[in-house]
Structure 1
Amino acid sequence: MAFVTLKDVAQRAGVSAAAVSQILHNKGRFSSDTRQLVLKTVEEMGYVPDQRARSMRSSDTKTVGLLVPDLRNPYFADLVSSMEDELYARGYSTLIGTSAETVERQDAFIGNLLGQRIDGAIVVPQGVESPGVQSLIKRNLPLVFVDRRVPGVESVPFVVSNPYTGIREAVEELVRLGHRCVGYVSHPSLGSFSVNERETAFRAVASDMLIEGNGVVVACDSTYESRTAAVESLLDAGVSAMLCAYSPDALTMIGVLHDRGVSIGEDMSLVSFDDIAAFTLMTPRIAVVSQQAELMGRQGVDLLLCRIRSGASDEGVTHSVPTMFINRGSVKQGPSAAVAG
């Protein structure tokens, strides 16, 4: 069914389009009968005002663009949900897109956003100063980056998590339980500054905690074969606990460990970044380093709406949300504790 227009309502009610517009905005001098007729006709025909036309007459559109890498990733789904809920509560609608972890898809969506009349954008960037990112900045559109940084871009505020706090809490607990050979799974192929920063944090914390060899660090990409190879490397190294920087890696590796007859929470302690729902539904439940996605989302929205209202650039400011370790059944006593007992 075609959209009902203002002219359609006017024709049905037997009045001018200008009269319908004025009555809908509670303006003009019209009899009570005429007003009631027009409002009844609007209701019967299901007329909805054209927001695009309205935005052309207004300085704002009450619409914000949201771009994340992958909506299939539960962490980003939670992040988008928190931001969309907060924006809706503030009277804003959203245009949501995904980059599929590629710069090309990211820049294509940015191009589409710039063709819309939006008030601002919240972006989880791919970590490079791409042509699309440059276009957003040059347009002087209110803009906030969330979850990931773009090295070299200092004109856009960031809301990012601090990986050191949660990783330190997790490693301290593993050491307390007797784990001395701890593995870490990185994911450098993402090209994410934030994900790579987690490896730096783990190496620093492992060194402080006197972990054997400062921890065993392996890398993988998003393929099953790469993740399986990473698990095999950690098993060969004799680790009794492992920490995953990227939750999709952990989800695959849990299955790989099961297939190898390695019992999580007994033979291997496991911690993953991101407090996604799937981890709480497993047996045992998976311990996590939470980035507090809901808090990050709210802060990103607060910062963007402040920029929209004031026009302030807030250049060079990074808003950091501390990560936190949430212990669950996937973390048990390690070999050193058993020997000591």
Structure 2
Amino acid sequence: MCIACETQLNPEDLNAFGERFLNIMNSANLAMMMSIGYRTGLFEVLREIGPSTSAELAKKANLNERYVREWLGAVTTGGIVECDDTGSVFTLPAAHAAMLTDADGQNVAYLTQFIAVLGAVEDRVVECFRKGGGVPYSAYPRFHEVMATDSHRNVVEALEDRILPLMPEMTERLERGIEVLDVGCGQGRALLELARLFPNSQFTGFDLCPEPVAWARAEAVKRGLSNVTFEIRDLTTFHEDAPPAAFDWITAFDAIHDQARPDHLLAGIRRALKPDGLFLMQDVGASSNIADNRNHHLGPLIYTVSCMHCMTVSLSQGGLGVGTAWGEQMTREFLFNAGFSDVDRHQLEHDIMNYYYVVKP
């Protein structure tokens, strides 16, 4: 007999969860509309022109008015945009504009794009639930684009003022000239910025996917940077084929946990690092224990991104599938097993998602 069926159903609990369910449905759909508002520039235009009708907003944004009007219905009933009593003039409140546009440099609207990007592979992930295996990187045509935006916000814009100060000696070494490697570099935006800032150093980026590497190479040429190169490279066997003691500084920005073999990659990084080198790893801040994450402010997001991308991508390569929330305990275990003995973990105020590990041999 079902134990749950014998349990007395509390009407208050039922009503409370019913209310929460409605909030979940509304919020999920609102996130989709916010993603469209970000991608079409509607939030930016509405902030710029102030109170306006759907026709005025559509004209300024060079968009179809009928779609803009329906979008306004969603974001207005969702409390993102305000309207007058006639329902024809719309305004983006200042506090909302501060977080959803580039006006104050705090734009987080780009994060809502993950809903559509991950939802596009739902059928394939459901099939993995039934048969195992995974969904490959190639199934996510816009994931690198969205991640590049995330990297720009959390890494590129923070390099000088927040990230490099974690390693006080590194700026001076970069100015003198050292060898730097970024693994899982994606579009290489962090390396491109470092190459611009430190012309005496040499920078190399490795990534599995051809599309972001092609973008990074073209961007390096466009910016006239001759001290940075990008390579398409599968890092599954990096523990065996990493160049020994070749790099002074190795970085990995949100890239280790979704590798097929994070253990192999970390061992390869240890092998490729010079004796006085440093390894900087940005990775998702969480515990390895689900119970510890019950009150995590981004818990559902972290585990969903893992299930819909990071874990399944690793499994598609026959990998370990440690997942996005592999957590600090497992991270330290993997680092120590790879041969690292000195690990300092930091949190930076601007980045609510990640930990920053400064690692020495």
TM-score w.r.t. the length of structure 1 is: 0.32
Per the normalisation by structure 2, the TM-score is 0.31
Instruction: Report 1 or 2 for greater relative contact order, CA contacts < 8 Å, sequence distance ≥ 6.
Output: 1
Task: Select the structure of larger CA radius of gyration.
Answer: 1
